Amino acid sequence: MKLFKSLLFVFTGVASFTYGISQKPLIISAGKTLVGAASYCSVLKDDRHTITYDSLLRKSYEFEPYNKPYVNLGITPSAFWIKLKIVNTTNENVYIEIGNTALDSIIVFERVNNQLIKHISGNWEPYMDREVQQVNYLFLLHTKKFEEHIVYLKVQHSRGTQFPLVAGTYHAFYQKSANNNLYSGMYYGLMLAMIFYNLFIYFSLKDPPYLYYVLYTFFMGLLNATLIGHAFKYLWPSYPRLNQYVDIIAIFVGLSGIMFVVKFLETKQNTPFFHKLFKLLGVIYLLSIFPILMGYAMLGTYLVEVLSLVVIVCFFGCAVIAMRKNYRPAKFFIIAWSLLLLSVIIFILKDFVFIPYHPLTANALQIGSAVEALLLSMALANRINIYKKEKENAQLEAISALNEKKQYITEQNLNLERQVEARTSEIQTKNDELENALNDLKVTQAQLIQREKMASLGELTTGIAHEIQNPLNFVTNFSDVTEELVDELIEKTKKEVESEATSDTLEALTSLKQNIKVINVHGKRADLIVKSMLQHSQPNKGMMEPTDINLLVDEYLKLSYIGFKSKNKDFNAKLETDLQKGLNKIDIVPQDIARVLVNLFNNALYALQDKMHGRIQGFEPELLVSTKVNKHILEIHIRDNGTGIPSQIIDKIFQPFYTTKPSGKGTGLGLSISYDIITKEHGGELTVLSKEHEFTDFVIKLPIH
């Protein structure tokens, strides 16, 4: 063996002396390690495509030693000849791999026993014609053990001639292929997960940014599949001509990215300049399709890559401006797009030979797009939370605007009453004015209820008249008394300078404080009643849709318990569920049924807490929720072992404004609303079974169509 190594060393030295600047041979040893061949090769540029293998042998062309770890010859239409010497010291076959899946044309020349062997491959050839069926170009070399074997490679690619050139045994390539398949599977799995997850959210919310994100992620994944070679292998293996138009996929990536950014960052409102600029860039993207279709692949590549870089920089600038305007989703967007911008810059600079070819630079687009897809998905998820807050704020603003509008109408009515009273009678008391105002308010509320809740007109009108009149009377009476007490306080305070008798002043202040508290309590109750009345009269805009009732029940049971417990720290209850398995989805309005469930859960928890405050020995609060199907009827039972409902009032609990809770704790509209939703909206039944001091069982019955 030592003799062989000595001879090999001498042979290598003689060869180096003979060929001057020619590269040393690549020695293949046994094992599973691949050897980089780029630093062992010499390169000859063929600008006119006139050099042939025969002319190489006849003429003395000067090959330049490459001496770089990866082949990166830039974006050029020129062909390149690569000369490589290999010495196989193993008993296994030697393979050589070109690690760029998108090269247009590859021809490998080798001589064995004075016979020329040609290996032809590339994206211009059908995938099934490859010698080895894998995405990278793998060629079997006919080497002889311990003999120097010279290989010539002719490569050409109009969109950039960059690739790793490696050699090794079959076992080494098998291990490399397994690792690559694992990484590719992880990448595709992540992209598909993001697509299906956000597609589901889009169908739930109908929010356009989610659809554009899905399109962008799909085209980005398809683009990377073409770069990796899986698209050619699995989608169009028999149509290699389509590989000339893969840059069109990059154009669709840019277009879908522009549509996503416009909707996600709301550029029309936040950044009008970039909104117009993105429209222009979208038109340029569409125009860049034509040179690709007309066969100018290199021009198309330059346009797409430069345009993509410009678009991503614009995305980044647009997001920065939006963030400065306190548009919170822009923060996630900047982080995600910064990573993609970095990966695209690395990928493009690699194409233009500004940075070396490396596995990280070659796969920069895949890595950056995967991380960006994940971060953008997180940004869209954060957008849901923002929508919730905006919706809550909008509801509060709407309620405030409605109250202001009602107050304005009331003031106008009062002014109108004063004008009428001035014409008809100059003697009119303040109580008469308030009575007229209350009558007008009852008429307005009755009209609202008649429009939205025709079925419960009589009961709701009576409840409104009764419930609103009492709190407002308290407000009126105690306001008058408070005014008198203030007058007395002023007078006594003036006298207090001369006399030190402050007990009367203190007593007046105490009475004033108590009156203000009463005014505040009843004012809040009146406000709560009005809000509940408005909620009762809201038009139903929900749509029937198939819903997993078990999932809905379980979710809102937990939410209700957590919400109730957050307000009552010392409260604990045992929650049990008996949900029938295998229930099919039923058509309901999920938000309305959830509203009913939350109301019934809260009532049950309140009853448990009320009984717990009675300090009954051995009492353990329990709430049991069950579902089952009985003859095409879905039944939901909500049973608690709380205070129960007295038999003499059980027939009244579904009436509007009827409540058993103390003043200020409830409006009496919750069960009425729930009853209307179940019976009138869904055609079902809502009943209750109860025994005072022992249990209450509410039963919801919904027909299954």
Output the six-digit token pair for 369.
Answer: 């797009």
Among the listed residues 579, 687, 703, 553, the one whose alpha carbon sits nearest the alpha carbon of residue 633: 703
- Residue 673 CA to residue 654 CA, distance in Å, equals 8
- Residue 258 CA to residue 282 CA, distance in Å, equals 7
The H or E element spanning position 119 is: strand 115-121
Quickly list H helices, 614-680. 670-676
Q: What is the DSSP letter of 664?
A: T
Annotate 352-410 with three-state secondary structure: CCCCCCCHHHHCHHHHHHHHHHHHHHHHHHHHHHHHHHHHHHHHHHHHHHHHHHHHHHH
- Residue 105 CA to residue 636 CA, distance in Å, equals 69
Among the listed residues 315, 314, 258, 249, the one whose alpha carbon sits nearest the alpha carbon of residue 283: 258
Say if residues 51 and 81 touch (Cβ distance below 8 Å): yes
Which pLDDT score, from 0 to 100, does residue 459 have?
47
Among the listed residues 30, 28, 25, the one whose alpha carbon sits nearest the alpha carbon of residue 11: 25
Among the listed residues 24, 22, 25, the one whose alpha carbon sits nearest the alpha carbon of residue 62: 22
Q: Name the residue type at position 225.
A: A
Residues 6+ apart with CB under 8 A from 13: none
Q: Which long-range contacts (CB under 8 A, 24 or more apart) does 445-449 make?
A: 445/533, 448/533, 448/534, 448/537, 449/533, 449/536, 449/537
Which pLDDT score, from 0 to 100, does residue 350 have?
64
- What per-residue string of b and e applies to 437-464 under the rule 16 or more CB within 10 Å gives b? bbebbbeebbebbeeebeebeebbbebb
Map tokens 């202001």 to a residue: 404
Which pLDDT score, from 0 to 100, does residue 276 have?
92
**What is the length of the chain?**
705
DSSP lists the bridge partners of residue 155 as 80, 106
Which pLDDT score, from 0 to 100, does residue 628 have?
93
Q: Left, alpha or beta for 49 (phi > 0: left; psi -120 to 50: alpha)?
A: left
Say if residues 483 and 443 touch (Cβ distance below 8 Å): no
Strands 574-579 and 622-629: parallel
Could you report the average pLDDT of every consecutive run of 10 residues in the chain (705 residues)?
A: 35 35 73 80 88 85 84 80 90 86 86 88 86 86 88 82 82 80 82 84 82 88 85 88 86 90 88 92 91 82 84 86 82 75 72 63 71 73 68 77 82 80 71 69 52 45 54 63 70 61 66 69 59 50 82 89 84 90 88 89 89 82 92 91 86 76 66 86 89 90 87
Among the listed residues 89, 110, 67, 109, the one whose alpha carbon sits nearest the alpha carbon of residue 169: 89
What is each CA distance from 482 to 406, 432, 469, 496, in whole angstroms?
A: 26, 21, 20, 20
- Residue 118 CA to residue 111 CA, distance in Å, equals 9
**DSSP string of 169-217, one letter each residue:** EHHHHHHHHHHHHHHHHHHHHHHHHHHHHHHHHHHHH--HHHHHHHHHH
- Put the strands of the sheet holding 685-691 in their side by side order: 574-579, 622-629, 633-640, 695-703, 685-691
- Residue 94 CA to residue 256 CA, distance in Å, equals 45
> How many Cβ atoms sit within 10 Å of the Cβ of residue 65?
15
- The pTM (predicted TM-score) of the whole model is 0.48
Which pLDDT score, from 0 to 100, does residue 467 have?
58
Which pLDDT score, from 0 to 100, does residue 351 have?
57
> How many Cβ atoms sit within 10 Å of the Cβ of residue 96?
26
Say if residues 225 and 181 touch (Cβ distance below 8 Å): no
Which pLDDT score, from 0 to 100, does residue 10 have?
34
- What per-residue string of b and e applies to 49-61 under the rule 16 or more CB within 10 Å gives b? eebeeeebeeeee
Map tokens 């940004």 to a residue: 379
Which pLDDT score, from 0 to 100, does residue 611 have?
85
Which pLDDT score, from 0 to 100, does residue 21 have?
41
- What per-residue string of b and e applies to 291-303 under the rule 16 or more CB within 10 Å gives b? bbeeeebbebbbb
Helix, strand, coil share of the chain (percent; to 5): 60, 15, 25
Quickly list H helices, 425-456. 430-452
Q: Left, alpha or beta for 20 (phi > 0: left; psi -120 to 50: alpha)?
A: left
- Residue 314 CA to residue 307 CA, distance in Å, equals 10
Which pLDDT score, from 0 to 100, does residue 252 have?
93
- Residue 656 CA to residue 671 CA, distance in Å, equals 8
Output the six-digit token pair for 568.
Answer: 């009552």
Among the listed residues 555, 611, 574, 600, the one whose alpha carbon sits nearest the alpha carbon of residue 698: 600
- Residue 153 CA to residue 83 CA, distance in Å, equals 7
Which pLDDT score, from 0 to 100, does residue 273 have?
92
Say if residues 620 and 680 touch (Cβ distance below 8 Å): no
Q: Is the dihedral of CA 434, 440, 442, 445 positive or negative?
A: negative
DSSP lists the bridge partners of residue 151 as 84, 110
For 574, the 3-state DSSP assignment is strand
The H or E element spanning position 297 is: helix 297-324
Annotate 229-267 with three-state secondary structure: CHHHHHCCCCCHHHHHHCHHHHHHHHHHHHHHHHHHCCH
Annotate 601-623 with three-state secondary structure: HHHHHHHHHHHHHCCCCCCCCEE
Helices 247-264 + 208-228 axis angle, to 10: 160
For 218, the 3-state DSSP assignment is helix
